[in-house]
Structure 1
């Protein structure tokens, strides 16, 4: 599902109609255009319930990753190719407008090898994103889970610069101690 919105003052309805025409021409199997705010809210409800639905599905390895918008389709395809290779089920929600996706690899939490497969799948996905000109992080930052890839993506010289900036603004090391720049 692709949910498209416009917030251009005075032109939103015109924009949405143009998007609908483009999506239809591109082969969309179904295109729904909201006629009013209530209908738009119902369409948005699908996006709002995605994360709770994925959580209800079961344990998952989920992160965010970014690629240039023009490579988004390539990344989505890679999510599924990688999932198949590791015997996992995958979904891929996100924010197409800025190339930020939230790939999700489901695993069996009673099987340590299943979690390991999800972690290997994410490692492959990071490398696929890099090959597409992307980055290991998007709107959610790096955090501890993605820290191992940050050094590889940025290199030690850049990490040293960032550690220096943190030290400058946090000379006592009290802000987020022991985390990414430890």
Structure 2
């Protein structure tokens, strides 16, 4: 019998993430207003351009997250043959991965988050799934491997438990 694990969104973690994003957007908006010279009458071009760009990016990500709240499907699915995750833009775009192609699984600190990084052999098999930009982010030229990242920032378990789940399913698939 095939064992399957589905991990769903944790609404408390998602709300905390959304509140943090809103806070960053408000701070960026204040910087935009200040840089535009509203307070002192002096236009500061570089801070205005950079803060405006960051604000737009944050606002788009915030709106995407708000729209994704309606989706009640699992964010990560693991079974004996393959796995799928949509906790990062890269993993969401990549789709289903076969365990037979996994070379390594590690935890990696990235900014304020700890990610589960799955390294894949046989990148030719998965070519064409990602945009050129995402492919360049995932593909390592020196090792000829792909690196996919999965976050626990919005799901019901922490990064250590997620790492253990990935590791256990990988070990069982090779038995």
TM-score (ref. length: structure 1): 0.24
Higher relative contact order (CA 8 A, sep 6+): 2
Q: Which has the higher strand share?
A: 2
TM-score (ref. length: structure 2): 0.25
